[in-house]
Amino acid sequence: MEKVGRMKLGSQGLEVSAQGLGCMSMSNGYYGPGKPEPDMIKLIHHAIHHGITFLDTSDVYGPYANEVLLGKAMKGGMRERVELCTKFGVSLVSGNIEVHGDPAYVRAACEASLRRLDTNCIDLYYQHRIDTSVPIEITMGELKKLVEEGKIKYVGLSEASASTIRRAHAVHPITAVQLEWSLWTRDVEEEIIPTCRELGIGIVAYSPLGRGFFSSGAKMAENLTENDARKAKGVKMTRGPVVARSSLVAWTGQVRLSLAKPGPEPSSGP
């Protein structure tokens, strides 16, 4: 297996592997129970060995457990070989999601992530979701300070509108915007992606295989476990209505047939 190539992400100087490794599902959470920690560390090391060095996590995955896992996987000289990315701004309180972007929260979240990841600097630090109660300029001001202090290298946003991206970028350069982009999530092509390209901001697509529904293997809706959020909550297509699972199975089956051609199977990831 050849190593994955490298590329510039955005225009601020960050170089990453062309393929990233999202670590969310390695810990308890969205896709069901977590996997054995030793196995996940081996998987991460295997990815790094093959050139996949762009690693993605968040403090809300687990919560917290995923960052701790990444921190353990970075032992033995691995940290110097990767681009380590995490996120802040989303917390679970009594089962409810809260979003935060005030300066005190941003700083405390960053310092806590540094401890869990067992590192002195985060390569790319995203605001996971935008706190509309706090002007983005205020949040970015604190992130700029963290860059100046050497605690983070580059700043990113996740699921931000085009106008928010512009306002944030005016305070401190945004290196990357993370968003859902796949065959069934195309609305981002209307404003957000053109804005990023105009401003020289990198685009990091999550769930490019439709949260697993376009990949090979038993990923169809009827095979999902009860504690998999894709079954419990349904799957929203382009932020529209929840699609019935039976219709979803039929639709994804048609997509797979239309894309069928000689060559490797689609990835088994989400």
Separation between Cα atoms, residue 45 and residue 239, nearest integer Å: 35
Q: Could you count the other beta carbons within 10 Å of the beta carbon of residue 32?
A: 16
| Residue from 31, 61, 105, 206 carrying the catalytic annotation | 61
Distance (Å) of CA 125 to CA 92, 135, 158, 159, 248: 19, 18, 10, 14, 34
Q: Which bin fits 207, alpha (ψ -120 to 50), beta or left (φ > 0)?
A: left
Buried-exposed string 187-214: b where 16+ CB fall within 10 A, e elsewhere: ebeeebbebbeebebbbbbbbbbbbbbb
Could you give the angle at the alpha carbon of 186 between the alpha carbons of 88 and 82, nearest 5°? 40
Q: Could you count the other beta carbons within 10 Å of the beta carbon of residue 110?
A: 21
Bridge partners of residue 20, in order along the sequence: 54
Residue 61 appears among annotated catalytic residues = yes
Backbone φ, ψ for residue 243 (5° rounding): -90, 135
Distance (Å) of CA 112 to CA 14, 84, 108, 116, 203: 23, 15, 6, 6, 26
Bridge-based pairing state of the strands 83-88 and 54-56: parallel
At 179, the amino acid letter reads L
Separation between Cα atoms, residue 176 and residue 124, nearest integer Å: 8
- Positions marked catalytic: 61
